[in-house]
């Protein structure tokens, strides 16, 4: 073994030992850390993708209460699943969870498989989720890499950028045979609570003496900021149609942005006449243009939406038979039951008392 290899192994060993010792004392008490149930760990890891822990906790607790097992989720109606997910965003996660649960029941007897290839074959389960389940739920030495892990590794080595392959190789080399689940959670916990993107708490970091970026005195330089995706401004117009105290909503296609959620009828652009024509073509309901109720803004990943909400006066016309599965006049109870996005809730808040 070369001197550089021995030095690297010693550094890795010290890093792992210190971080695990810190995690045992500093770990946050989170509901999914009180269980070894693979289903609940899978659910939490899916919810935590691109979403903050404090946002996830109440959603996780409500979701588990409503769907306490893989079987319960597999047999649920998609609309019920989306309603429990509504507001958490990235709705493909919920649809994939339900689809994957059905496959687990059908192909694996209702138990999440331990085999990496079988896990990776499930809808929505990628390399990160495979590693999280294998290490946290099954106690197997498998690595995970997320944004927190990438940042910790970049600062540990004071490197501006690394390829995904390089980061995964390092993660694989460090994961211990014993306590792999705690190790992976410790690594992510460090990035989430100490080695944060801004103002990292280096004086309280358990591995600060091993960190090259800390030694340089400029940890925030690492990693180099990623190029931000272009955010496209988009205008759209939505219509509020009421009939006998009920509000007309339409359902979005199952796949794509906000898939499967219910919303006010809308079209991209700023032409109210286009909205009226599209609404009649889709539902059979005739309307005329009323007053503007206001505008709401909503930021999506790659678009900044300005949505004007108009009151559309009901001019008659029954919902067409073809439209009845995807459009309905909704009572207040319906609005409370259906899965609605934050954007739709903001738009509905503009309506005057009926």
pLDDT digits (tens), the chain, 354 positions? 444 344 446 467 899 999 999 999 999 999 999 999 999 999 999 999 999 999 999 999 999 999 999 999 999 999 999 999 999 999 999 999 999 999 999 999 999 999 999 999 999 999 999 999 999 999 999 999 999 999 999 999 999 999 999 999 999 999 999 999 999 999 999 999 999 999 999 999 999 999 999 999 999 999 998 888 888 999 999 999 999 999 999 999 988 889 999 999 999 999 999 999 999 999 999 999 999 999 999 998 889 999 999 999 999 999 999 899 999 999 999 999 999 999 999 999 998 644
Mean pLDDT of the chain: 94
Q: Residue 289: name the closest of 268, 311, 305 by CA.
A: 311
Superfamily of domain 3-221: Hypothetical protein; domain 2 (1.10.340.30)
DSSP code for 340: B
Helix 38-47 vs helix 53-66: crossing angle, to nearest 10 = 140
The whole-angstrom separation of Cα 351 and Cα 336 is: 16
Residue 139 phi, psi (nearest 5): 70, 25
Q: Supply the CATH classification number for the domain 232-348.
A: 3.90.79.10
- Token readout for 33 is 């850390």
CB 155 within 8 A of CB 213: yes
The model carries a pTM of: 0.89
pLDDT tens digit sequence for 41-98: 999 999 999 999 999 999 999 999 999 999 999 999 999 999 999 999 999 999 999 9
Kindly report, as residue ranges, where domains of CATH 1.10.340.30 are found in the chain: 3-221
Kindly report, as residue ranges, where domains of CATH 3.90.79.10 are found in the chain: 232-348
Active site residues: 45
For the chain, what is the total number of helices (H) and then of strands (E)? 15, 8
CB 313 within 8 A of CB 242: no
Around Cβ 304, how many Cβ atoms within 10 Å?
A: 13
pLDDT tens digit sequence for 78-88: 999 999 999 99
pLDDT of 7 = 40
């Amino acid at each position: 073994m070369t001197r550089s290899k021995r030095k690297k192994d010693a550094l890795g060993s010290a890093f792992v030992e210190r971080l695990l010792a810190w995690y045992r004392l500093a770990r946050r008490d989170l509901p999914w850390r009180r269980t070894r149930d693979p289903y609940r760990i899978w659910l939490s890891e899916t919810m935590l993708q691109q979403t903050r822990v404090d946002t996830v906790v109440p959603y996780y607790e409500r979701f588990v209460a409503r769907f306490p097992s893989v079987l319960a989720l597999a047999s649920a109606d998609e609309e019920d699943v989306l309603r429990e997910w509504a507001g958490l965003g990235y709705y493909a996660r919920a649809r994939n969870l339900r689809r994957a649960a059905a496959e687990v029941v059908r192909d694996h007897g209702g138990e999440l498989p331990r085999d990496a290839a079988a896990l990776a074959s499930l809808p929505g389960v990628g390399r990160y989720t495979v590693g999280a389940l294998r290490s946290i739920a099954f106690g197997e030495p498998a690595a995970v890499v997320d944004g927190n892990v990438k940042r910790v590794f970049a600062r540990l080595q004071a490197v501006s950028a690394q390829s995904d392959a390089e980061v995964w190789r390092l993660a694989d080399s460090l994961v211990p045979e014993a306590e792999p689940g705690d190790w992976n959670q410790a690594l992510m916990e460090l990035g989430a609570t100490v080695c944060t993107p801004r103002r990292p708490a280096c004086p309280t970091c358990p591995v600060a003496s091993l960190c090259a970026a800390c030694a340089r005195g400029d940890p925030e330089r690492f990693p180099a900021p990623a190029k931000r995706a272009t955010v496209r401004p988009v205008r759209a117009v939505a219509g509020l149609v009421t009939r006998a105290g009920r509000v007309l909503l339409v359902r979005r296609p199952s796949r794509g942005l906000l898939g499967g959620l219910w919303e006010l009828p809308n079209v991209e652009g700023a032409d109210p006449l286009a909205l009226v024509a599209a609404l009649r073509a889709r539902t059979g309901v005739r309307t005329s243009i009323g007053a503007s109720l206001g505008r709401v803004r909503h930021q999506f990943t790659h678009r900044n939406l300005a949505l004007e909400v108009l009151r559309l006066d009901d001019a008659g016309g029954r919902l067409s038979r073809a439209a009845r599965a995807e459009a309905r006049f909704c009572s207040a109870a319906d609005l409370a039951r259906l899965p609605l996005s934050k954007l739709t809730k903001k738009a509905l808040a503009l309506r005057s008392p009926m």
